Structure 1
């Protein structure tokens, strides 16, 4: 049945205004039917009283890893439990990562992930990682773009002897992405340096989680970000740097953007609020639960990240949601390099960003919408179907109570993991209702997620970004020499 959201203040990326919002149910397309004051209630419609609340686009998390096979185990949130948890927190779409094993065909890995994702409760798309190179990878990238709507490709500069892409792979893949109009994305850490530091720390007897940030200092992130950005500059392709955690990497982004290069930056909710002291917790399990890459940083880096988000140098917020239970983390009890890397957050990102962003004066409500939804929709070519409150767009909406509070806890969250990195934080500002393509998925604490209801999102290349890049490249070409 239709849903009428009555009496709320609609907040999108650019405006705030009072209006009712009428949503078609999924049987009628699951889109926004009408926006305006004092709308009539259709027969049989569900009415949500949004008085005193905001009505905003549902969150888009552009960086998740549901049921990822990684480091000898598999992430404990699958595509159903992970997307259901996201709906409880106001996130209505995710973009996950297909990560082929070395020498595995890209199309084979993509088909694996498509099968796993059929159980998703919310809409989902994919980035596909390029972990090796030959002519088949070149061909599969074209198939993914033209036939399957994959318009972004991931490159890990870390994880030596596993999925790390060296400079040759980066150059070949970036060039192919430019041909296809696809966006390269990069995990920026110098994998050679990380590997060396890990070996040195282990040799000196540092085996616990406290060694994890020491093996991945800010400089290795800054170097890799700068290298990826400069490779993209030479080739004339846009680039997106995922999970920026260090001022060093942010500085590389700011410098490139100030020179006119098209570089996008993403920051995780966790990197904005969690301190590196968590790795020195005397409880090994709690310390290990925070092991992710890049690691959490000092206050100075967190301040820089907030400033980068406020200034628009970082455009999107994500979670890198990739959760492992205590028994899985214990695989690295005697060797920190064997602790499965990953933390959660898909359920809590929106509330954490509202509390520490809007409530503390760092973001306006409109800026909150930009960094949690609209910018991701635009960069990854889902806009205005997603990321906007607009007639005809998908009815992916969150009704947000800025006064209601919630204390985040593993005891009450919906993520399928026995730890929460935001444990004990009381946030002010939470979703009371989440609508996903016209269906009520979260209602005042009642999670109504349906297994398999999520829809695969094809994302064709974004011509605007690449036409601008091509024009800029032509302008840089040397003039012919008269003979």
Structure 2
């Protein structure tokens, strides 16, 4: 089945130009004017709109077992919500339990993901170390299209990776041509600060940011960068939330180190005043790690995106309903950490970034798709509108508006951190694998239509 998008302005990371886009099956076959179109081709009118590569969210958690419960969004509902927001590919996380074989966990997640409506691929977390982990990392890279490994420097007594694990895993990643990623928070400091706050009787959601101040994140970011620098290993730091962490990335990059930073849509838009709300359900709904920061840090993150020291935008989509969050009503450390956003990421970043004069449309494409595709080695299959690329596209209406609300969202969980925000600039049509899956408010996602995306290993970098 052929599909043609007519009358729009194609926006790639390098330029914008007037062109039609012809898709045949799941690939783009031509981009240009006056294209010959097969009889019976479906036509999408993009007059007055932009045609951009479908968004890539490099940080989601669908169907995640976490803190004694499981996220509200599974791989179908989560990826379907993403399609409604213009995101056609997610990179989710396989998170083995300590002592669980990596391959066992990987196949478990692949089974859960079989119902995805959009394309998906995985980072695999290293939560423990042994010779078996060393070997299975190689199998994952060679046989299963994994080229990134995640390390939690937080969550003491659960999945936290100590320095020995970081060193061994970073070195192994370098050997395999994979990139290590880190959740940068000093887990020991967080644990001790949590204990101190509880001992003082500070038990509500307002304690959450107090237990995870910017210095806790910055210490871990600096430590991970130092380890990667000694080993000459590239490094990707997820959900950079504070100026101090960004400064560490900026210094390292100025010295020629390959360090990449990710910003969450929530950290760019929402400030820490949400934790002072007396309504427990509201404040707990915003509990995620790292927490939301002050407006000073938000300004720094936008500067990082504009200046090229932050490279991708993500959501850390990890939804829990009020009943699940209520597990921590008397102890903030038991509130399941996580917020949504996969449905709203592109719209809020366009509204604040492009609408606010902070990003150009091409820079928007860089930080919502192209950079993620390049960093994780699926470019130019993803992240660009050109012949030969996957037919994953979003037709973007810069004049369209939508008021975000949990009552109208497709994502589950019953809560939205962007509640009530009216955004200007929204997807009018989303195309995934050459098929229209969202059009002017109507979601046509198909369970199981998503494909697993293999990500080839990088050419290993020789140590100094």
TM bucket normalised to smaller: over 0.9
* 1:368 corresponding residue in structure 2: 364
The match for 1:214 is 210
- Cα deviation, residue 44, structure 1: 1.2
Partner of 2:319: 323
Q: Once the 2 structures are TM-superposed, how far is the Cα of residue 366 of structure 1 from its aligned partner? A: 0.2
3-state SS of 1:171 partner:
helix
Answer yes or no: is 1:19 the counterpart of 2:15.
Answer: no
- Point out where structure 1 has 5 or more consecutive residues left out of the alignment: 475-483
SS in 2 for 1:440: strand
**Structure 1, residues 105-159: CA drift from partner, whole Å, max 9, x if none?**
1111001000000000000000000000000000110000000010000000000
| CA displacement at 1:462 relative to structure 2 | 2.2
The aligned residue for residue 277 of structure 1 is 273
- The CA distance in 2 between the partners of 1:31 and 1:459, in whole Å, is 18
CA–CA separation in structure 1 for the residues paired with 2:306 and 2:16:
19
SS at structure 2 position matched to 1:252: helix
Instruction: List aligned pairs for 1:283-322, cutoff 5 A.
Output: 283-322=279-318
Instruction: Give the match for residue 350 of structure 1.
Output: 346
- SS for the counterpart of 2:5 is strand
Paired position in structure 2 for 1:124: 120
Match of 1:175 in 2: 171
SS in 1 for 2:44: strand
Deviations 1:328-351 (Å, cap 9, x if unpaired)?
A: 000001000000000000000000
Q: 1:264 aligns with which of 260, 263, 267?
A: 260
Name the residue aligned to 1:235.
Answer: 231
Alignment of 1:150 onto 2:146 = yes
> Which residue does the alignment assign to 1:80?
76
Give the TM-score normalised by structure 2.
0.99
**2: CA distance, partners of 1:360 / 1:302:** 14
1:403 aligns with 2:404: no
User: Distance in 2 between the 1:243 and 1:127 partners?
Assistant: 15
Alignment coverage as a number of residue pairs: 464
SS in 1 for 2:156: coil
Following TM superposition, where does structure 1 have runs of at least 4 consecutive aligned residues deviating by more than 4 angstroms? none
Distance of 1:289 and 1:404 partners within structure 2: 28
Deviation at 1:87, TM superposition (A): 0.2
Give, in whole Å, the separation in 2 of the partners of 1:168 and 1:48: 54
Distance 2:407 2:458 in 1: 42
- Equivalent residue in structure 1 for 2:111, among 98, 108, 115: 115
Paired with 1:336 and 1:417, the residues of 2 have a C-alpha distance of 19
How far apart, in 1, do the equivalents of 2:211 and 2:288 lie? 12
1:51 and 2:47 matched: yes
CA-CA distance at 1:38 after TM superposition: 2.0
Residue number in structure 2 paired with 1:89? 85
Question: How much does 1:24 deviate?
Answer: 1.0
Q: Per the alignment, in what secondary structure is the counterpart of residue 216 of structure 1?
A: coil
| Displacement after TM superposition at 1:89 (Å) | 0.2
Cα-to-partner distance string for 1:300-348 (whole Å, 9 max, x where unaligned): 1000000001000000000000000000000001000000000000000
- Is 2:390 the counterpart of 1:394? yes
- Unaligned 5+ segments in structure 2 are none
Query: CA–CA distance in 2 between the matches of 1:242 and 1:41?
Result: 43
SS at match of 1:369: helix
- After TM superposition, the structure 1 stretch with the greater mean CA deviation from structure 2, 34-43 or 50-59, is 34-43
Aligned residue in 1 for 2:29? 33
SS in 1 for 2:124: strand
Q: For residue 341 of structure 1, what is the aligned residue in structure 2?
A: 337
Q: Which residue of 2 aligns with 1:244?
A: 240
Question: Structure 1, residues 167-194: CA drift from partner, whole Å, max 9, x if none?
Answer: 0110110010011011000000000000
Distance 2:24 2:37 in 1: 12
